[in-house]
Structure formats: C-alpha cells, structure tokens
Amino acid sequence: MSTTTSKPYSPKPFRIAVPDATLVDLKKRLQDVRWPDEVAPGWDYGVDLQYLRSFVDYWRDEYDWRKHEAALNELTQYTVEIDSINLHYIHVEGKGPDPIPLLLTHGWPSSFADFRKIIPMLTDPASFGDDPRDAFTVVAPSMPGHGFSFSPNQRRFSIPEISDTFAKLMVDVLGYRTFGSQGGDWGAFVSSRLAYAYPQNVRGIQISLLTIPRERPAVDTPTQEENEFFDQLADWLKEETGYIQIMGTKPQTLAYALSDSPVGLAAWILEKFRSWTDCDGDADAWLGRDVLATNIMLYWATGAIGSSFWPYYARHHGPWMVPPGERIHVPCGYAEFPKEFLRPPRSLAERMYGNITRWTKMERGGHFPALEQPEELAKEIRAFFRTVR
C-alpha cells in the first residue's frame, strides 16, 4: 500500500446527537410490545422472558441515553470520507514521550463504546500509576456498516475490505507509517488480516481470539490438546452458531425484524453478552445494564444492525482471510481469556501465526475483554508492545 495520499482526505470533527424523535419513537416501541410465550423459564432455549421484560422496563423508564451520549462525546471523534463511505473513528493522542499509534477494532455485537474505559489507560498510563513510556495514540473506528460508519444503502464490506480501509485510515489519512493493531472477535480478524496484508506497516498485533481455520488439519497423531479443542469446536458449532448461519446466509430477512423491533434487537444482542462473558449467568452484574443498553442503542439509533451482518455473509461465501498454507509473520501477542468461546492450543495457532512472541493465560474474562477486564487487558497490551517498539 502506498504511504502517500492519492486523494485529499478531509477528516471532520464529529459529535453524537441522536434526534429526539428517535428516542420518542423508541420509548413507544418499548411500551407497545407484543410478547411471546416461552416453553420454560430460563435460558436453555434463548433469552429468558422474565429477564427481558425487566431489561426492557429499565431501558424504557430508567436508562438515560443523553447521559451516555455525553460521556461518549468526551472522546475525540471524527468522520472521513474513504472508500465511498463516511468512516467514524475515535482519535486520542497519547501522553508520553513516543506513543505508538494503536488501532483498536471492535467486533459484533459490540461497538467502539467497548473501549471507553480502556482508552485513557492506553493513552495516559501515567494517570493510572504506569509508565508514560508505554503510552499509545489510539484510533478506534466504528467498523464499516456499524454504528456511525453506516448510512442506508451504502456498500457492504468484508473483513479484508475493512482491513484495507483501516490501513488507509492509519497510513494515508492519519500519516502513521507504522502502527500496532489490537482486537477480539472481528477485531482479531481485522488485526490478523492487516498483519498478513500490510506487514510493512504493522509493528505487531495483540489479539484475544485466534482466528485460525476451523477444519481439522490432516495430521497422523493429533495431540490431546488438539483433540480437546476439536471436541470444543464441534459442540460450539452444534449449539452456538445459529446466529452465524442466518446472518451468513439470509441477512436481509433477519434485518426486517431487528430493524423494526428494539425488543427483538435487544434479545439478539443480550444473549451473546450473557453467553460469551465470564458473568456466571448475570450479565447485568458483570457489565452493568447501562453498558448493555448503550451498546444496543448504537445499533438501534443508527439503524445499522442489518449492515453489521455483512462480514458474516462475506466470510460464509469467501475464502479464509489468510490463504491456505501461508502464515502471518508480524509479531503476535495472544491473551487467552478463560471464557472465550474457542481457545485453540498453541500447536494449531502456530500453523497460521508464525511469530507468536507472547502467550498469556488470563485469570478472568471472556469474549469482550475491553469491557470485562479493561485494566488487565491494558496491562497485557502494554507488555506486548514494549517488545516491538
């Protein structure tokens, strides 16, 4: 990729300002709900009815979007026209002698708001009692098709295309010839693709999900760890991937329901935050209802839920992001959180990640570490990137 601009990019300051009419309409929809029955109380068949009724009551009557909108607006935000869309991103300068530019990428069904707590820890470590030499300048975009990087009828993006756009953002728009990349979920896919496609620009990647192909390699004597992982994978594919199948095959059909019903949208998202976190069955206590509602709002208020499905469709109908037989050679740090839904052993990870320089087993946390364990994740990010300065 060229490190010179081929067109004049003009980032514009951005502030979140959801129209009052959107909030009035939402409150009405949360009042006039047609509730289903349920086979049995509990979460065995999906979101528990009693829980969802309670959550909707809170969202409608107690949650204050304007408070959280103001908190998000404390982060310095921009939009820039790039690759035919207006890309929304956070850009916070580091407070240290030589801050590393660091791209933070969220996944699904989360958002840039995941990083609200961790960004100050990364940009101003001295304020948290840590070494100012570990400071980062953080860039945290909304992925194309998500949140404020969405407008109706815009083009859809695969993970390789998102990675290309983010490389242009970092190098051509912001002028960072080299940078680090961090993420979980799709953010780990984006970081991995960037490391493969732009090794001249990416100093290193720190991820919390290993994005290896999910087929068993042809080996004569798999290890016990490998066999245990493929048993885990088989159970996950059987019991937990219905959302991938519908979003990856008929995304438009689901978009009608979730764009029209905020309760349906909440159920679709809340199930994942409960299932994929280290919450012991209580996501409210682990993350907080306001955190959950704010994340849902960033899909509801922007109308971006249908477009957020597209990476699943593109992945389902395209090749793996790293061609078969090829490897990533950029330094990689991996944080294994105990409640991540897939945790491959190192022997399998090294088939794709050819330069794993740090592998840390974390004590607590799951699929959303920036929300669940921001302090521990920040420490791990700093520790890894000290090795690639």
Residues annotated as catalytic are: 185, 313, 367
What are the φ/ψ torsions at residue 187 (nearest 5 degrees)?
-60, -30
Cα gap 46→110, rounded to integer Å = 19
b/e 86-101 (16+ beta carbons within 10 angstroms → b) = bbbbbbbebbbeebbb
**Nearest C-alpha neighbor of 328 from the set 213, 192, 200:** 192
Using CA atoms in the order 69, 73, 75, 76, what is the torsion angle rounded to 10 degrees? 150
Q: CA neighbours within 13 Å on the CB side: how many for 141?
A: 31
Which token pair is 130? Answer: 């840590």
Q: What's the rounded Cα separation, in Å, for the pair 267 and 255?
A: 14
- b/e map of 194-226 (b: 16 or more CB within 10 Å)? bbbbbeebbbbbbbbbbbbeeeeeeeeebeeeb
Query: Rounded to whole angstroms, what are the CA distances from 52 to 56, 212, 213, 262, 268?
Result: 6, 35, 35, 11, 11
Angle made by CA atoms 127, 131, 135, in degrees to the nearest 5: 80
Helix pair angle (289-300, 262-275), 10° resolution: 130
290 φ, ψ to 5°? -65, -40
What is each CA distance from 95 to 30, 134, 213, in whole angstroms? 43, 9, 39
